[in-house]
Amino acid sequence: MFSIIEMPELVMEKIIEFSDFKAVLTLRQVCRDFRNFIDDLNDSKLPDSKFAKIEIVSDKKENEIILDFVNSDNSYYRIEYSETENSRKFQETTKLFQNSNIVDVAIRDLELILKFQKSTLKRLFFSFQHFQLQNDSSVHTLPIKLSNLFHGLGRKIKTRKFIINTSDTSQIMTVLPFASPEALETLKLYALDGVEKKEVEIDEFAKTEQWKKAERMDCGFRVLNLKVEDICHFSRLYIKVPSITARDLDFLRKTYISSSKFKNSVFNLMVFNEIEEITDLWGAAFTTGSSTHSWYFRTKNSKEKILLIEFCPIPQVFFFKTIRPNFVWTGAIVHDYDEH
């Protein structure tokens, strides 16, 4: 028998190269020398774990952190961290940590697994509960420690979809900047704990490359300082705003009829008092007996796409979506394309 450290490094690297993710994790348990060798390897020499989804959840009721790693076939690994018991549970094995902070344990585990993730995730999901009533809990430090982890990795996390559920909007920026802008397609910012009416300013979000590069955005918070220039690039959009002006609506109309990528957008409003101003801009609305007001506009360089704009007074919502000409109501006026 010989020690693992007596093996040439090239041989050890080849063993790692031709092993899969699970095998390498097993090799880490062989001995301390092998574990240290694997942990010191450049990420590029490690196999791809090929996870499709990673979910990171903090549970304020149970003082728990849950890490889920989902494969493309929807099989998954779940690791549960209990602050109450200071334990980690993986499959049927539970390990107690007497002298370690359980949040730090979870962060170290996540760091190790992220070293193996090379392919682009379909979804990166965070759920951060608010810990205001549990000041003695260290679980509330998870967002900040995640930020430190991502910063230390020295690379962005490649994911097509970035989702965060939180009741504290300040937590969004702790993780959003670490999603790769080049891979990102969808941003979803949702409210937890019945705070759907919580208000948020999006100036800081809108300055990020992640926001600018994403094609779709859903925002469950009510946005206070909306600038339509910051959201008009999204091909699909759902957003809540206190109100919106006729001028901004017309800016969106002009943008959407000139875009080849636009699909739909929804503006959920608290109040809208400029129906007369919209009528002056777009002409009389088409109605079908319901209270919904509709307008139709031809789009640039396309005979197969019409922009439909609908306003529903109860609840007050503006819908923009592209439709085919055969979905236009008989008798409705379709306005010619006009970028001005």
Note every long-range contact of 211-215, with CB atoms under 8 Å and residues 24 or more positions apart, other chains counting.
211/176, 211/187, 212/181, 213/181, 213/182, 213/184, 214/162, 214/184, 214/185, 214/186, 214/187, 215/185, 215/186, 215/261
User: What's the pLDDT score for residue 28?
Assistant: 64
Question: Which of 183, 182, 226 is closest to 205 using CA atoms?
Answer: 226
Question: Which of 135, 109, 93 is closest to 54 using CA atoms?
Answer: 109
User: What's the pLDDT score for residue 133?
Assistant: 45
Pair of tokens at residue 24 = 């390498």
User: What's the pLDDT score for residue 40?
Assistant: 65
Question: Which of 166, 206, 209 is closest to 184 using CA atoms?
Answer: 209
User: What's the pLDDT score for residue 52?
Assistant: 95
User: What's the pLDDT score for residue 113?
Assistant: 87
Question: Which of 79, 65, 71, 76 is closest to 48 using CA atoms?
Answer: 71
User: What's the pLDDT score for residue 227?
Assistant: 94
User: What's the pLDDT score for residue 129?
Assistant: 77
Classified as helix, coil or strand, 24 is helix
User: What's the pLDDT score for residue 299?
Assistant: 95
User: What's the pLDDT score for residue 293?
Assistant: 94
Q: Cβ distance 89 to 82 under 8 Å?
A: yes
Note every long-range contact of 329-333, with CB atoms under 8 Å and residues 24 or more positions apart, other chains counting.
329/286, 329/288, 329/294, 331/286, 332/286, 332/294, 332/296, 333/283, 333/286, 333/296
User: What's the pLDDT score for residue 57?
Assistant: 93
Per-residue pLDDT of the chain (340 residues; tens, 9 = 90+): 445 555 666 766 666 666 666 666 666 666 666 677 767 667 667 777 889 999 999 876 678 999 999 988 888 889 999 998 999 998 888 989 888 899 999 999 898 889 889 899 999 999 987 655 455 678 888 999 999 999 998 889 999 999 999 988 889 999 999 999 999 999 999 988 655 567 888 999 999 999 999 999 999 899 998 999 999 999 999 999 999 999 999 999 999 999 999 999 999 999 999 999 999 999 999 987 778 999 999 999 888 899 999 999 988 999 999 999 999 999 999 999 877 7
Q: Is the peptide bond before 47 cis (omega within 30 degrees of 0)?
A: no
CA–centroid distance for 288 within its chain: 38
User: What's the pLDDT score for residue 2?
Assistant: 44
Q: Cβ distance 120 to 158 under 8 Å?
A: yes
